[in-house]
Amino acid sequence: MKPGEMRAKPAAELKQLKEKMEKELMDARFKNITGQLKNKGSVRKIRRDIARINTILKESGK
């Protein structure tokens, strides 16, 4: 998701999205350990999206 799209969302929705992405990250890490993850770059993408959400939340002070 692009930062512009994230900035348009309210803080409550961003927090829900962050929780969802943290669960996805945990699942992706487990799949990576067990060898079931085909796209290993997805772990990096999810981590960066979580960081973007954290940055936007702190910028706006929400």
Domains in the chain, please, with CATH? 3-60 (1.10.287)
CA distance 38 to 54: 27
Residue 62: the pLDDT is: 54
CA distance 33 to 57: 31
User: 35 — alpha (psi -120 to 50), left (phi > 0) or beta?
Assistant: left
Residue 61: the pLDDT is: 80
Consecutive 10-residue averages of pLDDT for the chain (62 residues):
89 96 97 94 96 94 67
Residue 3: the pLDDT is: 87
Residue 1: the pLDDT is: 79
Contacts of 7 (CB under 8 A, 6+ apart): 56, 60
